[in-house]
Copies of this chain bind each other. A is one copy, B any other.
Amino acid sequence: MDIQALRSANPDHWMRAAAIRALTLDAVAAANSGHSGMPMGMADVATVLYEKHLKFDAADPTWPDRDRFILSAGHGSMLLYSLLYLTGDAEITLDQIKNFRQLGAKTAGHPENFLAHGVETTTGPLGQGIANSVGFAIAEEALRARFGKKVVDHHTYVIAGDGCLMEGVSHEAIGLAGRQQLSRLIVFWDNNNITIDGKVELSDRTDQVKRFKAAGWHVQEIDGHDPEAIDAAITAAKKAGSPSMIACKTHIALGHAAQDTSKGHGALTDADQLAAAKQAYGWTTGPFEVPDDVKSQWEEIGRRGAAERAEWQSRIDGLSESRQKEIQRTFAGEAPKRLSATIKALKKQNSEAAPKVATRKSSEMVLEVVNPIMPETIGGSADLTGSNNTNAGDLGVFDVDSRKGRYIYYGIREHGMASAMNGMALHGGIRPYGGTFMCFTDYARPAMRLAALMKVPSVFVMTHDSIGLGEDGPTHQPVEHLAISRSTPNTWVFRPADTIETAEAWELALTSTSTPSVLALSRQGLPTVRTEHKNANLTAKGGYVLADAEGKRQVILIATGSEVSIALAAREALQAEGIGVRVVSMPCMELFAAQDEAYRKRVLPGGPVRIAIEAGVRQGWDRWLLGERGREAKAGFIGMSSFGASAPAGELFEHFGITPEATVELAKSLL
């Protein structure tokens, strides 16, 4: 690569891009850790994007109508931090750059959306950014259809590396974007031919251009160091009418001794080599120093969108007050005030009618009344619409020619669906929910974890939540998935027992602002256990006394979901023998754990025997069974200790001993 030719061809551009490269080298060297090569390779693309195309105003990184810039190759975080610092972001200061990767800094090793407003999404786990971006682009289309072009009218730009494109989730994302013809989505592929292990050819020879074309994308191939080519490609991409991929041939670690090698992918910390690279760039200032003129140019870029933002604001100000309020409410992620009354009415009606329905059907009943009053919901399923009962409340189908539709046929793409949902939630203005079978949370796990880490309230509607799904057998029967979901911090795992608890769980999920929810719902019909209407949302406490002991309390049965009615039946049998039994319904362990100790002790007082009943593994239950500090009770568990089997559901519950009879027997043996 002839650096000098690049420098002389576009000297101003060169120095702006060199600022990114120099800051990256300095920050990684200071941290003695990080990834230098990617920002150095993609600095030209990013510079042109920010200078000529990206609609943003550094003074307000939360402007709802900004273009979104997603760094899917999140290990190159210094690219993003450099751009934010250079354009004058208030949070990513020079001090932050100097503290790259240090405890408490906003400049974490990988970009974390919850640390700085300028970071649109957390990236690092490869492929997530590009998959999120599909959700960002869907959100833009949906909100533009809802509020009009004067309110919403922007693009989503992504930088993705070879790693992102090798990950399976990228296939799901690219296929979904192609199917939906998301023309506001523009992906730059950092085609540097290097991965950690060596040249890409070591592990992959996919023709990415053909691959994207096969998925219905517009594709261009350019020299990623030629600012004019970059500019022209972005201009063409905006006009493409379909999602667009720009393959940018770049040199990783451009200008450094490690250029074009896998060493260049990592932390370049050798002082001499760093100095040599800066010299080649014509970069003469000291560490972390950006020449004033270069910084001024960048700050001007940072102010480029100020007028446009002001115009946008005046357009908003010109709207009716109610319209403004609705836009504000929607982007703030606030549930409508009517939601609470709607849920209460549904609860009252169903506690009286006491239907015997599967909780997946209960969930549909909730959606039927909620979706009409929450125009911000976008629902969908990974090709299990009729099983997940997710299409309810007259949503219409979101499609190329019907962007007001609010139901998405995601296809058999659990992972891509979950990532896209996160993208919608991060974009703002959308409350996404999506369904698959509980067992296939496995496929969506990386995105579900990121929802929790990123603090976005995606709602994962996971039906067929136990061996109760029956004949499909152990590949489809979750046994460990409640435990898995509960193990992730900042996640609410709801396993409601009936329609009432399902409505309460939905209310909590739809009013959450920073915690994702997993709704574990039954395939099989369940009796209504909450037949006495209460306005209060009991599920909000996580666990509560559903039926107390008559006479002296000797046993506490704790159960969730489909096993609550088993607990009630066991209670009845034991009470008939004079053994006092309390039944605690525990639809959400995390919310129960969040109650104060006095409440927890009131629900689960020390006592001779506690038994938990859940058609899943015991892991996670001992805390409640044995007491938080131990010594509280003799404990037993009715549940699964192996994979399931293929047979009708009723036979499986018998076979695995998850029955009232087995519970009664265990209780007696422990007393």
Residue positions of A touching B, CB distance < 8 A: 31, 33-34, 74, 101-105, 108-110, 112, 122-126, 162-163, 166-172, 175-176, 178-179, 195-198, 202-211, 213-216, 381, 383-387, 409-413, 415-416, 439-440, 442-443, 445-446, 449-450, 452-453, 470-476, 479-480, 483-484, 486-490, 610, 617-620, 622-623, 625-627, 629-635, 641-643, 645-648, 651-652, 655
Contacts and interface: CB of A to CB of B under 8 A. Distances in A.
Contact of A642 (B31, B489, B630): B489
B473 A108 contact: yes
Contacts of A171: 168, 170-171
Given A110-B472, A163-B412, A647-B102, A206 B196 contact: no
A385 B125 contact: no
A203 B384 CA distance: 12
Nearest to A473: B109
A449 to B, nearest CB: 6
Contacts of A167: 168, 172, 412-413, 443
A334 to B, nearest CB: 26
A506 to B, nearest CB: 23
B385 A470 contact: no
Contacts of A162: 412
Given A197-B409, A645-B103, A34 B215 contact: no
24 contacts: A33-B648, A34-B471, A101-B647, A102-B646, A112-B474, A122-B475, A124-B475, A125-B442, A163-B412, A167-B412, A168-B172, A195-B383, A195-B411, A197-B384, A202-B411, A203-B411, A207-B216, A210-B210, A211-B215, A450-B475, A487-B487, A487-B619, A489-B641, A630-B631
A412 B126 contact: yes
Nearest to A34: B471
B215 A203 contact: no
B206 A617 contact: no
How often does this chain occur in the complex, in copies? 2
Contact of A213 (B210, B439, B453): B210
Contact of A626 (B195, B471, B630, B643): B630
Given A413-B166, A475-B110, A627-B626, A655 B103 contact: yes
A630 B620 contact: no
Contact of A110 (B202, B490, B641, B646): B646
Contacts of A169: 168
Given A34-B471, A103-B645, 17 more contacts: A102-B646, A108-B645, A109-B471, A110-B473, A124-B473, A166-B383, A167-B168, A198-B409, A205-B215, A208-B214, A210-B210, A443-B446, A483-B484, A630-B630, A630-B632, A631-B631, A631-B633
Contacts of A123: 475
Contacts of A163: 383, 412
A611 B483 CA distance: 22
A557 to B, nearest CB: 15
B203 A179 contact: yes
A629 B634 contact: yes
Given A203-B383, A383-B197, A449-B442, A109 B472 contact: yes
B652 A103 contact: yes
Contacts of A198: 409
Contact of A207 (B31, B110, B214): B214
B472 A195 contact: no
Nearest to A448: B442
Contact of A489 (B453, B643, B647): B643
B207 A125 contact: no
Contacts of A632: 630-631
The 8 closest A-B pairs by CB, nearest first: A168-B168, A203-B411, A171-B171, A622-B622, A103-B647, A108-B646, A210-B214, A626-B626
Contacts of A643: 452-453, 489-490
Given A471-B31, A626-B622, A631-B630, A109 B168 contact: no
A237 B619 CA distance: 49
Contact of A216 (B205, B385, B387, B622): B205
